[in-house]
Amino acid sequence: MRKTVSTIEGFSLHVDDEGCVLYKTGQHMNGREIGEVLNISKVAVSYSLRRAIKKIYNKLKSKNISPFDIFCSMGNVFNLKTVEEYKWLLNLFSKEIRREVNEEARKLFC
């Protein structure tokens, strides 16, 4: 079941059962589409997303959760399924955070 959370200039943003934000076609939105709905640039969408991802990461890290566990948990929250999607998520992080996640993963799997 979908619930409408916002309607802007003819576009309706919905939340589906899994908590994923969709719009009127029922497809996931890319940065350009989100920017069009919110009347901001694709760059602003990307910046906001990166900033939010960093805030979530830092908040969880302050609770003594390992970098790799944070990364995996965020992947689950975003319903990521493929390696490419996880690479996309990892690239949203700063170089410093990517290094922390990679070092922790090497410790666990090598």
Count of domains in the chain?
A: 2
Question: Rounded to whole angstroms, how far apart are CA atoms 110 and 107?
Answer: 6
My answer on whether 30 and 58 are in the same domain is no
27-41: average pLDDT: 81
My answer on whether 2 and 50 are in the same domain is no
My answer on whether 103 and 50 are in the same domain is yes
Name residues whose C-beta falls within 8 Å of residue 108's C-beta, 6 or more positions apart in sequence.
68
Whether the predicted model's global pTM rises above the 0.85 cut: no
Question: Rounded to whole angstroms, how far apart are CA atoms 25 and 8?
Answer: 15
Boundaries of domain holding 79: 46-110
Single-letter residue type at 6: S
My answer on whether 54 and 19 are in the same domain is no
Element (H, E) at 22: strand 21-22
Structure confidence at residue 36 as a pLDDT band (50, 70, 90): confident
My answer on whether 23 and 6 are in the same domain is yes
pLDDT at position 15, please? 52
